[in-house]
Copies of this chain bind each other. A is one copy, B any other.
Amino acid sequence: MTQVADAAALHDVTEAVLETARRAKIASRTLATATRGTKDAALGALADALVANAEEIVAANEIDLDRGRSNGTSPGLLDRLALTPERIGAIADALRELAALPDPVGEVVRGSTLPNGLRLRQERVPMGVVGMIYEARPNVTVDAAGLALKSGNAVILRGGSAAASSNEVIVRVLADALTAQGLPADLVQSIDAYGRPGAVALMHARGLVDVLVPRGGADLIQTVVRESTVPVIETGVGNCHVFLDASAELETSIAIVLNSKTHRVGVCNAAETLLVHADAAQALLPGVLAALGAADVVVHADPLTAALAPEGVTVVPATDEDWATEYLSLDLAVRVVADLDEAIDHVRTWTSGHTEAIVTKDLRSSERFVAELDSAAIMVNASTRFTDGGQFGLGAEIGISTQKLHARGPMGLAELTTTKWVVNGDGHIRS
Q: Which residues of B contact A410 (CB under 8 A)?
A: 421
- Contact status B428-A383, CB under 8 Å: yes
Q: Is A1 part of the contact surface with B, judged by Cβ < 8 Å? A: no
Pick from B33, B233, B375: contact of A420, CB under 8 Å: B375
- Contact status A374-B128, CB under 8 Å: yes
The segment out of A58-66, A159-167, A171-179, A400-408 that lies at the interface is: A400-408
The segment out of A135-143, A317-325, A387-395 that lies at the interface is: A387-395
Q: Is A127 part of the contact surface with B, judged by Cβ < 8 Å? A: yes
- Contact status B423-A386, CB under 8 Å: yes
A380 to B233, CA, bound (A): 33
Of the four ranges (under 10, 10 to 19, 20 to 34, 35 or more), the interface on chain A belongs to 35 or more
The segment out of A76-84, A252-260, A292-300, A326-334 that lies at the interface is: A252-260
Interface residues of A in 230-268 (CB under 8 A from B): 231-233, 251-252, 255-256, 258-259, 263
The segment out of A10-18, A37-45, A112-120, A282-290 that lies at the interface is: A112-120
Q: Which residues of B contact A372 (CB under 8 A)?
A: 29, 32-33
- How many Å from the CB of A96 to the closest CB on chain B? 21
Which single residue of chain B is at the shortest CB-CB distance from A114?
A: B393
A100 to B206, CA, bound (A): 39
- How many Å from the CB of A369 to the closest CB on chain B? 10
Q: Contacts A33-B371, A231-B405, A430-B391: A421 and B385 contacting too (C-beta < 8 A)?
A: no
A114 to B379, CA, bound (A): 14
Q: Contacts A127-B404, A385-B430, A429-B255: A380 and B422 contacting too (C-beta < 8 A)?
A: yes
- How many Å from the CB of A344 to the closest CB on chain B? 10
Q: Which residues of B contact A429 (CB under 8 A)?
A: 255-256, 258-259, 263, 382-383, 385
- The 0/1 profile, CB within 8 Å of B marked 1, for residues 206-218 of chain A is 1000110000000
Which single residue of chain B is at the shortest CB-CB distance from A417?
A: B404
Main secondary structure of the interface of A (DSSP, over half): mixed
- Please tell me how many copies of the chain the complex holds: 2
Interface residues of A in 191-227 (CB under 8 A from B): 206, 210-211, 225-226
Q: Is A427 part of the contact surface with B, judged by Cβ < 8 Å? A: yes
- Contact status A420-B408, CB under 8 Å: yes
Q: Which residues of B contact A405 (CB under 8 A)?
A: 210-211, 231, 233, 405-406, 418
Pick from B112, B382, B418: contact of A423, CB under 8 Å: B382
Q: Which residues of B contact A426 (CB under 8 A)?
A: 381
A232 to B230, CA, bound (A): 10
Q: Which residues of B contact A120 (CB under 8 A)?
A: 392-393
A428 to B381, CA, bound (A): 7
Q: Which residues of B contact A226 (CB under 8 A)?
A: 229
A145 to B34, CA, bound (A): 43
A421 to B118, CA, bound (A): 35
A229 to B226, CA, bound (A): 6
- Contact status B424-A381, CB under 8 Å: yes
14 A-B pairs besides A263-B430, A375-B420 with CB distance below 8 A are A33-B371, A125-B374, A128-B374, A210-B405, A251-B427, A252-B427, A377-B422, A379-B423, A380-B423, A381-B426, A383-B428, A383-B429, A404-B418, A409-B421
Q: What are 8 A-B contacts defined by CB distance under 8 Å?
A: A32-B372, A206-B225, A251-B427, A375-B420, A376-B420, A377-B423, A379-B425, A409-B421
Please list the 4 inter-chain residue pairs (A to B) with the smallest Cβ-Cβ separation, ordered nearest first: A382-B425, A259-B429, A404-B418, A406-B406
